[in-house]
Structure 1
Amino acid sequence: MNGRKRMDWKAGAWLNPPQSSREEGEMLKVVPEKGRDFWKKTLYGFEFEDGPALLAHWEPGTAVEVSFELASFTELYDQAGLLLYHGPGQWIKAGIEINDGIPQLAAVVTDGYSDWSLAAVPEWAGEEVTLRASIMKDAVILRARSGHHPWRTIRVARFPYPSDNKAGPYTCSPTRDGFEVTFTRWECTEPDRELHSDPPME
């Protein structure tokens, strides 16, 4: 593909609808229902795949980016970001999650079982954050940046699905009511050229 393609919010279909969602200008405001999440078995034993995610077909040979504001993230497990979805039990969620009282870059990689990685980014509090995913060979490269901080590579994860994938913004609020996320952008763009070079900024 050439350049960037901004996704219309209406181009996506909800994998599990939220409690509410509404467009305000170019933004999408989403309130997830308390108690829903994405997780499979590991450590906790429970299985959730009922969180709201607005998904569209992910074209092979493209990267996908989702941006959102962190101002409303205040309580444990408040979270939002990007969901990469191949099918039930085969997905990755990557975004910001409040843990230990601060924003954390979080990735959950799932193929029947989930794992979870965290990296603290307290300096990103209150900013706009962008998550990015780009497939390379049998893996996906996950990156993130904020309005005042450059791209960080947060995970290289196995994702051996060259086609039949969906991707888009997700949010969950496992422990509280009233959490609202403002998504500001959803785009498809050029894929990463290699692991150790930053992707272009818009």
Structure 2
Amino acid sequence: MLYQGQQKWIKAGIELNDGIPQLAVVVTDGYSDWSLAPVPEWVGKNVTIRASQLQDAVIIRARTENQSWRTVRVARFPYETGQQAGPFACAPTRAGFQVIFTRWVSTEPDRDIHVDPPIKE
């Protein structure tokens, strides 16, 4: 999750929607929008999600341990100061939800939207 304030944030992750795992991104800048891409083949796999600021946008990419990067979203997010970033998990309507974060890494930002970041970080 990238957090600039209550009305300016981005969250990305795997969400269960209509019984199907989805690679989901919510972008909020006054109003929220939600994008989904089904990834049922990712069940049981370690997923890496990367958010990288490039100029006035954030690039969201994701991959599993044996698949290459998939660009999920490029979102306008022109905020430089005061950003907070970190892991985020929630289950607003279900008890017993469990998440395991295996690592959190801060790296150099992407330099080009058309060049994948390295696999090993």
Say yes or no: does 1:125 pair with 2:43: yes
RMSD: 0.8
Name the one with the larger strand percent: 1
Which letter does structure 2 place at the counterpart of 1:105? L
SS at match of 2:41: helix
Could you tell me whether the CA contact under 8 Å between 2:25 and 2:35 is conserved in 1?
yes
Return the structure number with greater relative CO, CA threshold 8 A, min gap 6.
Answer: 1
SS at match of 2:100: strand
Q: Which residue in 2 is equivalent to 1:195?
A: 113
Shift of 1:100: 2.1
Deviations 1:103-156 (A, max 9, x none): 101000001211000000111111111110111111000000112221100000
Q: Which residue in 2 is equivalent to 1:111?
A: 29
Say yes or no: does 1:162 pair with 2:80: yes
Tell me which of 14, 22, 26 is aligned to 1:96. Answer: 14
Q: What TM-score comes out, normalization by structure 2 length?
A: 0.95
Query: What are the ranges of 5 or more consecutive residues in structure 2 without an aligned counterpart?
Result: none
SS at match of 1:104: strand
Aligned structure 1 segments of 4 or more residues deviating by more than 4 angstroms: none
Could you tell me whether the CA contact under 8 Å between 2:22 and 2:36 is conserved in 1?
yes
Q: How many residues align?
A: 120
Query: What are the ranges of 5 or more consecutive residues in structure 1 without an aligned counterpart?
Result: 1-82
Q: What TM-score comes out, normalization by structure 1 length?
A: 0.58
Shift of 1:162: 1.6
